Amino acid sequence: MKIAIVGAGIIGVTTAWELASDGHQVSVFERRGAAAEETSFANAGLIVPGQVGPWAAPGMRTKLLRSLLSSQGAIKLRWPLAGRELRWLAQWQRACRLETHLANRARMQRLAFYSRTRLHELTETRELSYERSQGCLVLLRSRRDQKLVQPGLEALRAAGGAFREVDADEARRIEPALSTDTELAGAIHLPDDEVANCRQFALLLKREAESLGARFHFNCDIAPLSRAAPRSLALSAGSDAIPFDAVVMCAGVASAALLRPLGLRIPLASVYGHSVSANIREPLNAPRSAVMDERHQISISRMGLRVRVAGSAELGGSLNTMNPAALQTLYKVLHDWFPGAATLQAGVQQWKGARPTLPDGPPVIGPSGVPGVWLNLGHGASGWALSCGSARVLADLVGGRDAGIDLEGLGVERLSL
Ligand SMILES: Cc1cc2nc3c(=O)[nH]c(=O)nc-3n(C[C@H](O)[C@H](O)[C@H](O)COP(=O)(O)OP(=O)(O)OC[C@H]3O[C@@H](n4cnc5c(N)ncnc54)[C@H](O)[C@@H]3O)c2cc1C
């Protein structure tokens, strides 16, 4: 089939690869000048399937309210919120119920474990070499933090995920540069998990997809799909529409607006986050792999010769305005755990990205309900961890095959459009 993909983030690139490897004639259209220039650009890089889960969770409403009173809260609402953001919050609140949360978490983790296996297959068979390190340590500052993670550990145990609860001494043996000046009650060690550079992987896999015949068209800002010819694409600036046998929407947060003329109302919100990447000053003072500060929900990871600290979650505001308080918290947490690890005087990259987030958590993968229009979108805070599996699932569905995992709860029908 002649298939068009809109968007060359990690989701569009992995989808292009899988469809091209199934023998389809693939064209990818991207408004930016290169792949992975938006949310897939400088994310935390964590591939931690056992920690993947919806933002909608019991206790989150209280956390959100509490964070409004603190400048260092892990999550923030930025007033005024638009009408669609308020509607999204109402749906999100309903999905915070324990049963709904657990069901969505199980759906996301099933996809995440499948995705990690697919990522490893691609890495090995295509001999892809990108920045990656093995293992992740979840840092628990106090006994209270240790208690709060117990329900999550129960779920992880039930899902068969490998982990070990370790004391502070053992945590410091795993990550020897952890500062002794910051209180550490213990940690969870996830030895099979990893951190890796999402953008680098996307650029490498793009090249592999091209070697199978996929064509990438950059600086092509695609117009919203038309109801009269939903499988034809035209440029926003105006151009003749090019017809395809199928269109796959992978345009991250922009997907909702591109699909609206088809009568699809996808409740996608931008949940903004920040990252800071800096050159390592002294490797002995830097993390070996990834650590996650559970209390602040901030990760610090090794990215080759750089260290990257990432986190914060904001609803409302805009992509173009950095939040100084969020950045300050990133620097504080980096200093708490790895003082002196990075050169912060020069060459620091500060970045803000928009997580394409559905209110209940899981992405939508599969048919849109409009013949020939397919969806692979809404991966929220875990798009990198879910990308390779989501792309494989999408390609199997397009090819009329059964997917490698149970897809219950990952379709568009659950959103009651
Ligand atoms: C601070 C932060 C930390 C994160 N950490 C992690 C992590 O540790 N692990 C993890 O798994 N995930 C993480 N994420 C989430 C992850 O980055 C996203 O889920 C993922 O990048 C989404 O990929 P995407 O391809 O859907 O979107 P994008 O990367 O945004 O790609 C969408 C593409 O569509 C293009 N596009 C949009 N509109 C049009 C149009 N009209 N025409 C043509 N092209 C168009 C855009 O230019 C863009 O390139 C993090 C996110 C943030 C912000």
C-alpha of residue 165 to centroid of ligand 1, in Å: 32
Q: Both tokens of residue 22?
A: 């199934």
Distance of CA 183 to the CA centre of its chain: 29
Q: How many helices (H) and strands (E) does the chain have?
A: 11, 18
- Which residues does 17 contact at the CB level (< 8 Å), separation at least 6? 122, 205, 208, 209, 212, 214, 391
- pLDDT score, position 74: 64
C-alpha of residue 247 to centroid of ligand 1, in Å: 19
For ligand 1, whether the C-beta of 194 sits within 6 Å is no
C-alpha of residue 402 to centroid of ligand 1, in Å: 27
Burial of 151 (0-12, 13-18, 19+ CB in 10 A): middle
- pLDDT score, position 331: 97
CA angle (17 as vertex; 12, 21 as ends), nearest 5: 145
C-alpha of residue 179 to centroid of ligand 1, in Å: 33
C-alpha of residue 273 to centroid of ligand 1, in Å: 11
C-beta separation of 413 from 401 below 8 A: no
- Among 391, 13, 16, which Cα is nearest to 201's? 13
Q: Both tokens of residue 52?
A: 């993947």
The model's pLDDT over 206-225, given as tens digits with 9 standing for 90+, comes to 999 999 999 999 999 999 99
- Among 278, 275, 276, which Cα is nearest to 340's? 278
For ligand 1, whether the C-beta of 29 sits within 6 Å is yes
The full DSSP string for 7-67 is --SHHHHHHHHHHHHTT-EEEEE-SSSSSS-STTSS---EE-GGG---S--TTHHHHHHHH
For ligand 1, whether the C-beta of 296 sits within 6 Å is no
C-beta separation of 42 from 32 below 8 A: no
The model's pLDDT over 49-80, given as tens digits with 9 standing for 90+, comes to 988 999 998 888 887 777 766 666 667 888 78
For ligand 1, what atom is nearest to the CA of residue 220? 43
The model's pLDDT over 6-65, given as tens digits with 9 standing for 90+, comes to 999 999 999 999 999 999 999 999 999 999 999 999 999 999 998 899 999 888 888 777
- pLDDT score, position 95: 95
Neighbours of 396 (CB within 10 A): 18
For ligand 1, what atom is nearest to the CA of residue 223? 41
CA angle (259 as vertex; 202, 77 as ends), nearest 5: 75
Question: What are the CA-CA distances from residue 24 to residues 30, 222, 265, 278, 393 (Å)?
Answer: 19, 21, 29, 40, 15
Q: What is the C-alpha separation between 45 and 199, in angstroms, rounded?
A: 9
Question: What are the CA-CA distances from residue 389 to residues 50, 288, 340, 361 (Å)?
Answer: 15, 27, 38, 16
Neighbours of 376 (CB within 10 A): 29
Instruction: List 330's β-bridge partners, or say none.
Output: none
C-alpha of residue 8 to centroid of ligand 1, in Å: 9
The amino acid at 354: A
- Among 292, 288, 252, 293, which Cα is nearest to 384's? 252
Q: Residue 135: which region, alpha, beta or left (left: phi > 0; alpha: psi -120 to 50)?
A: left
Instruction: List 26's β-bridge partners, or say none.
Output: 3
- pLDDT score, position 27: 98
Residue nearest to atom 19 of ligand 1 (CA): 383
CA angle (285 as vertex; 279, 286 as ends), nearest 5: 50
Identify the segments of the chain with pLDDT beneath 50: none
- pLDDT score, position 113: 94
Ligand 1 pocket test target in 5, 6, 17, 43 with most atoms within 8 Å of CB: 43
Up-side HSE of residue 91: CA atoms within 13 Å toward CB?
Answer: 20
For ligand 1, whether the C-beta of 27 sits within 6 Å is no
Domains of the chain by range and CATH?
2-415 (3.50.50.60)
For ligand 1, what atom is nearest to the CA of residue 301? 8
Helix (H, G, I), strand (E, B) or coil at 264: coil
- Which residues does 217 contact at the CB level (< 8 Å), separation at least 6? 27, 28, 29, 30
- pLDDT score, position 62: 82
- pLDDT score, position 66: 76
Ligand 1 pocket test target in 47, 217, 225, 355 with most atoms within 8 Å of CB: 355
For ligand 1, what atom is nearest to the CA of residue 29? 43
- Among 286, 308, 293, 290, which Cα is nearest to 136's? 290
- pLDDT score, position 258: 98
- pLDDT score, position 190: 96
C-alpha of residue 363 to centroid of ligand 1, in Å: 12
Residue nearest to atom 18 of ligand 1 (CA): 383
Q: Both tokens of residue 72?
A: 């260092």
C-alpha of residue 285 to centroid of ligand 1, in Å: 31
- pLDDT score, position 73: 62
Q: What is the C-alpha separation between 274 and 281, in angstroms, rounded?
A: 22
Host H or E run for residue 92: helix 83-95
For ligand 1, what atom is nearest to the CA of residue 299? 8
Instruction: List 279's β-bridge partners, or say none.
Output: 306
Q: Both tokens of residue 12?
A: 């569009």
Residue nearest to atom 9 of ligand 1 (CA): 46
